[in-house]
């Protein structure tokens, strides 16, 4: 399935602290494993190529919900968590930011020696996607990150990001081999970033004349905009506001953790002493694993699972984060032993949340955030 989109991604400096980076690796890998177990490797690559899902994925891990840093931190966490488990999960992440990006061809050739794939062809594909986004799409953004996610069968997704320092913005580009039919005819699954006026895109399907003209040096290139793409507008303000969140969907997550539902699901998950706060996080993660593409129109909502490292919408609740990881890992471990009851319970949790949207009610957005901040010390809340 091919989905296109655009988004504004404010440039943010700083680094992910070790206490969060380690947890992002564990949680990001656990979510990836859930998706792969339930839907397969191809579906996981499809989701990585969806900018809305990708943003929600990073937000549920406790990264800043709207910034460009989500791209680097999510892909870094996946590389640390997935690559050592290639024999189990069947895919690896190559490349990364800066100096790591230029190593991508060599990493792909090394990967091909293990799998029997054509390493030189993969290296060429890596270089070609980078050159198209850096040179053929003249949009004012210079690439600084290139990650190539590939399965043992040779299916791949590319996520790369460019920077426009003058505008303090980033643009993220998504590719998926299942959607690519012709590298010089609209190959992207998505390009995300704030529009910067007219864009020279020589791989757009409408640029055939320009391509021919360049080859014959007879005409100048044809410019075209990407107005047909879905647009995810990530605001410049750092705090999460009510307008950024689908309040009906958030209300359903809160409702599913009500006492009665809590007893039911705690029993179903077979987790002793599961708290309502952890159940809220699990409900959002269940949606990341099982939700349809339309469910990710408000990725800010997923920051309500584990807050953000800069304290927006609230500090990262480490006790909740660690319990969530424990439940997810337990579900996967049991499934590997032939008992998928907890995997099914997590899917049921997503179904229950959606069913409650019709009648969900609860605190206002501001009341919810205020309560989370007040309880932060109880959850061992932490920020940078």
Residue with more model confidence, 167 or 109: 109
pTM score, whole prediction: 0.85
Cα angle 287, 293, 298; round to 5: 70
* Tens of pLDDT, residues 298-329: 999 999 999 999 999 999 999 999 999 999 99
Cα angle 249, 250, 254; round to 5: 120
Phi, psi of 162 (to 5 degrees): -115, 160
pLDDT tier at 5, thresholds 50, 70, 90: very low
Residue with more model confidence, 199 or 310: 310
Q: What is the pLDDT of residue 187?
A: 59
Residue with more model confidence, 383 or 222: 383
Q: What is the pLDDT of residue 229?
A: 44
User: Cα–Cα distance between 340 and 43 in angstroms, integer?
Assistant: 20
Q: What is the pLDDT of residue 214?
A: 37
Residues 6+ apart with CB under 8 A from 88: none
Domain boundaries, the chain: 5-232, 242-382
Q: Tokens representing 373?
A: 């901040």
Q: Tokens representing 126?
A: 């890596």
């Amino acid at each position: 399935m091919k989905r296109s989109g655009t988004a504004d991604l404010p440039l943010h400096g700083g680094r992910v602290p070790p206490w969060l980076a380690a947890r992002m690796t564990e949680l990001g890998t656990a979510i990836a494993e859930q998706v792969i177990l339930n839907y397969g490797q191809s579906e996981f690559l499809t989701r990585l190529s969806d900018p809305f899902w990708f943003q929600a994925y990073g937000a549920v891990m406790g990264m800043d919900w709207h910034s460009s840093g989500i791209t680097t931190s999510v892909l870094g966490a996946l590389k640390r968590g997935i690559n050592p488990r290639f024999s189990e999960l069947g895919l690896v992440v190559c490349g990364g930011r800066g100096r790591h990006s230029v190593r991508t061809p060599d990493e792909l050739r090394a990967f091909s020696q293990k799998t029997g794939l054509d390493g030189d062809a993969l290296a060429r594909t890596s270089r070609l996607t980078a050159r198209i986004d850096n040179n053929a799409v003249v949009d004012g953004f210079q690439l600084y990150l290139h990650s190539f996610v590939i399965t043992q069968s040779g299916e791949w997704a590319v996520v790369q990001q460019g920077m426009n320092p003058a505008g303090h913005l980033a643009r993220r580009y998504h590719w998926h081999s299942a959607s690519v039919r012709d590298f010089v005819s609209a190959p992207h699954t998505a390009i995300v970033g704030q529009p910067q006026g007219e864009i020279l895109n020589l791989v757009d399907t409408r640029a055939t004349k320009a391509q021919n003209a360049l080859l014959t040096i007879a005409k100048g290139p044809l410019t075209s905009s990407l107005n047909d793409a879905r647009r995810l507008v990530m605001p410049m303000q750092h705090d999460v506001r009510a307008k950024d969140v689908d309040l009906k969907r958030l209300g359903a997550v809160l409702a599913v953790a009500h006492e009665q539902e809590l007893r039911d699901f705690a029993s179903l998950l077979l987790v002793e002493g599961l708290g309502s706060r952890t159940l809220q996080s699990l409900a959002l993660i269940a949606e990341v694993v099982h939700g349809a593409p339309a469910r990710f129109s408000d990725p800010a909502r997923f920051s309500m699972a584990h807050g953000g490292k800069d304290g927006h919408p609230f500090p990262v609740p480490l006790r909740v984060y660690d319990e969530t990881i424990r439940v997810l890992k337990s579900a996967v471990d049991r499934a590997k032993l032939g008992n998928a009851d907890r995997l099914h319970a997590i899917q049921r949790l997503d179904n229950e949340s959606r069913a409650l949207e019709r009648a969900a009610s609860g605190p206002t957005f501001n009341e919810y955030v205020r309560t989370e901040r007040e309880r932060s010390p109880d959850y061992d809340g932490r920020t940078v």
